[in-house]
Amino acid sequence: MPEIKSLQTDYDGPIESALSSISKLLRGHYGISKRMVALLLLQEDAEIERQVKEQEDENYKSIQNILPEVKSNYGHPLSYIIAMTRQQKVNNVLDSVIATRDKSDKGFAELLSRAMMNPLSGIIILFGVLYFGLYQFVGVFGAGTLVDFIESIVFGEWINPWVSGIANTIIPFQILRDLFVGEYGLVTLGLSYAIAIILPIVGTFFIIFSIIEDSGYLPRLAMLIDRIFKAIGLSGRAVIPMVLGFGCDTMATIVTRTQETRRERIITTLLLALAIPCSAQLGVILAILSGDGWSLSIWVGVITLVFLLVGFVASKAIPGRGPSFYMEVPPLRLPKLSNVLTKTYSRLQWYFFEVLPFFLYASVFLWLGDLTGVLDIITSWLEPVVVLIGLPPEASIAFLYGFFRRDFGAAGLYDLNTAGALVGVPLVVAAVTITLFIPCIAQFGVMLKERGIKTAIAITLFVFPFAFAVGYLVNLILTTLGVAL
């Protein structure tokens, strides 16, 4: 085969002459050939336009004058004309070297792919993935078996007594000791919860998510769900942050960057903050409610309804063009274990560096709050609201915790539940409210960074009363109907 030294595409006459006259006018340094700069200019590349404006002071005007002249030759944008010419060139090259075989055999992957995209079988598969992946693996195995082991054995029997022992011998003051090993201690609360609860739950979730991601299932799910998501102002693409949100809403809020418009990003951020429980929270809530099928169904139903309703209203209220959906659907592939583990590892690493510090601050804040009595004051503010939605006053501390860590709130409910103080209708109301209630402190931090202070505060100010309003309504409806759970 002859060696190809360079491959130049020749464009249409007017484009070629524009390219050469622009190239002659260019004086600056761009790190790419002048012809390339000229081509990008014709394609109206914003970045190169900025650079040219910066570097070509005298010639910038003359360069600009060339553009409308070339454009007038064509009824389509130049980027389209250029893309067509290039495609032609590519086809010519490919035709001479590629032979296509007729692939008539439809393998299992193809069958499975079709089943995933068929509305009927697709929904069955979705439920299968949710049940086995989310419920069994993350919920039962991660949040159940693993958490029990790490929390009660690793921390409860090994680490905590050991650290407490050390603290007791080297720290002479009780107050300072509490900072490390007390009820809200950095080790006993911050670190132990992070490693005992977060690590197994988020870790198992990230394993499942990486498998799903590498298999090629997500674009198929996106395609299946696009029509429904359009009703809430989003495109099918939004399933990626949404599904990720079931793992960690904080990470999902960062992933909204991949969405096309500001409008989509705001709606997704809002829904993540409001109606998508993260895996840590989900694990605890599933544990509380799984004893009773009805309670669980009501919780799922209310959260889904809120998700769709708020999304729908937000899509009407937030101005801007509706989203469009286009996505490559790659072939289904069997995920490679090494890739899954690498991804899970790097996500967990991110999680520990970005999110863990927030939880450590939270421990310090709670310790301070407890010390100064601020905690009691805020709890007393929350009490009347909590009582109003039909919950025992002790539940208010769970809501306060909920802000620092979503699962803390849920864990607070868990304690009340096992103590027998929270059962039946109030339990469901509490679960609904705490799911909707406020994003955790880390998520709020990311919202501030990604969406700006105004949007973040607006979302929080909406979510807070809204969560209690929904809790109030659910309580009202269930008690009026005389539902006994």
Q: Which residues bind another protein (CB under 8 A)?
A: 74-77, 79-80, 83-84, 87-88, 91, 114, 117-119, 219-220, 222-227, 230, 235-236, 324-331
Distance in angstroms (rounded) separating the CA atoms of residues 72 and 224: 42
Q: How far is the CB of 43 from another protein (least distance, A)?
A: 9
CB of 305 to another protein, least distance (A): 21
CB of 221 or CB of 395, closer to another protein = 221
State the Cα–Cα distance between residues 207 and 467, nearest whole angstrom: 31
Q: Which is nearer to another protein, 55 or 79 (by Cβ)? A: 79
Say what angle helices 453-480 and 374-388 make with each other, to 10 degrees.
Answer: 50
By beta-carbon proximity to another protein, the closer residue of 78 and 284 is 78
CA distances for 92 relative to 22, 96, 259, 402, angstroms = 28, 7, 35, 62
Q: How far is the CB of 15 from another protein (least distance, A)?
A: 14
Q: How far is the CB of 226 from another protein (least distance, A)?
A: 5
Question: Could you tell me if residue 216 is left (phi over 0), alpha (psi between -120 and 50 degrees) or otherwise beta?
Answer: left
Would you say 330 or 393 has its CB closer to another protein? 330
Token pair, residue 86, equals 């290039």
Q: Which positions ≥6 away from 278 have C-beta within 8 Å?
A: 245, 246, 247, 248, 249, 250, 406, 407, 440
Rounded to whole angstroms, how far apart are CA atoms 68 and 301?
Answer: 57
Please answer whether residues 429 and 389 qualify as being in contact, where contact means their C-beta atoms are separated by less than 8 angstroms: yes
Report the nearest approach of another protein to the CB of residue 44 (Å): 8
- Shortest distance (Å) from residue 100 CB to another protein: 9
> Distance (Å, rounded) from C-alpha 388 to C-alpha 468?
9
Q: Which is nearer to another protein, 36 or 329 (CB)?
A: 329
Task: Tell me the closest approach of the beta carbon of residue 221 to another protein, in angstroms.
Answer: 10
Apex 264 CA angle, 263 and 269, nearest 5: 100
Tokens of 238: 């939004």
> What amino acid occupies position 482?
G
Q: Toward another protein, which CB reaches closer, 321 or 454?
A: 321
* Cα–Cα nearest to 197, from 155, 160, 245: 155
Q: Tell me the two tokens of residue 468.
A: 């209690």
| Number of neighbours of residue 107 by Cβ within 10 angstroms | 11
Q: Least distance from C-beta 322 to another protein, angstroms?
A: 8
Nearer to another protein, 320 or 357 (CB): 320
Which residue number, 84 or 476, has a Cβ lying nearer to another protein? 84
Smallest distance, another protein to C-beta of residue 219, A: 6
Work out how close the CB of 113 gets to another protein at its nearest, in angstroms, rounded to a whole number: 9
Which amino acid makes up residue 467?
A
Nearer to another protein, 58 or 105 (CB): 105
**Residue closer to another protein, measured from CB, 325 or 464:** 325
Token pair 């991601």: residue: 213
Task: CB nearer to another protein: give 162 or 312.
Answer: 312
- Alpha-carbon distance 281 to 245, whole Å? 11
Query: Which residue, 30 or 325, is less far from another protein as judged by CB?
Result: 325
| CB 186, min distance to another protein, A | 48
Contacts 24+ apart (CB under 8 A), 285-289: 285/410, 285/413, 285/431, 285/434, 285/435, 286/135, 286/139, 286/143, 287/139, 287/143, 287/144, 287/414, 288/410, 288/413, 288/414, 288/417, 288/427, 288/431, 289/427, 289/428, 289/431
Host H or E run for residue 296: helix 293-317
Q: How far is the CB of 346 from another protein (least distance, A)?
A: 28
